């Protein structure tokens, strides 16, 4: 879903990327490593990727709850809501900023 540069590290997610940092760290404990991706880095400064990522993930959780039952088989019902399409577009943008090019993004 995206070009990979020569020598670029390819990674996979061992946990749900929408979870907050503390929950992701807990979920990774039994794998025996500490994640060092940009989203799991220091988040004590508003300029860091981790801080901004936490904000995006929180918003993704809100949007997920707001649209969950209006997608898929209920898409025609979702289309009746004035802000539904805007919420899906916002979710797609947030997933892209997070680097999540999985089926989640495709579902938007």
**Within 10 Å of residue 91's Cβ, how many Cβ atoms?**
22
Question: In terms of DSSP H, where are the helices of the chain?
Answer: 21-28, 49-67, 75-78, 84-98, 103-107
Nearest to 87 by CA among 68, 63, 69, 105: 63
The whole-number pLDDT of residue 76 equals 92
pLDDT in tens, 37-54: 889 988 889 999 999 999
pLDDT: which is higher, 88 or 107: 88
Residues comprising the chain, all counted = 108
Query: Distances from the Cα of 21 to the Cαs of 6, 8, 45, 88, in angstroms?
Result: 29, 24, 15, 23
Is 8's pLDDT higher than 80?
yes
pLDDT: which is higher, 68 or 107: 68
Asked if 32 and 16 touch (Cβ cutoff 8 Å), the reply is no
- d(CA 22, CA 35) in angstroms, rounded, equals 11
Residues 13-18 have a mean pLDDT of 85
- Report percent pLDDT > 90 for the chain: 56
pLDDT in tens, 17-41: 888 899 999 999 989 888 888 899 8
DSSP helix/strand/coil, 64:
helix
């Amino acid at each position: 879903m995206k070009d990979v540069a020569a020598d670029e590290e390819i990674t996979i997610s061992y946990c749900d990327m929408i979870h907050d940092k503390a929950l992701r760290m807990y979920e990774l404990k039994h794998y025996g490593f500490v994640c060092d991706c940009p989203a799991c880095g220091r988040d004590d400064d508003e300029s860091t990727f981790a801080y901004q990522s936490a904000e995006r993930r929180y918003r993704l959780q809100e949007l997920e709850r707001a649209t969950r039952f209006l997608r898929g088989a209920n898409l025609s019902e979702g289309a009746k809501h004035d802000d539904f399409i805007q919420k899906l577009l916002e979710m797609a943008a947030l997933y892209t900023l997070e680097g999540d090019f999985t089926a989640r993004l495709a579902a938007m």
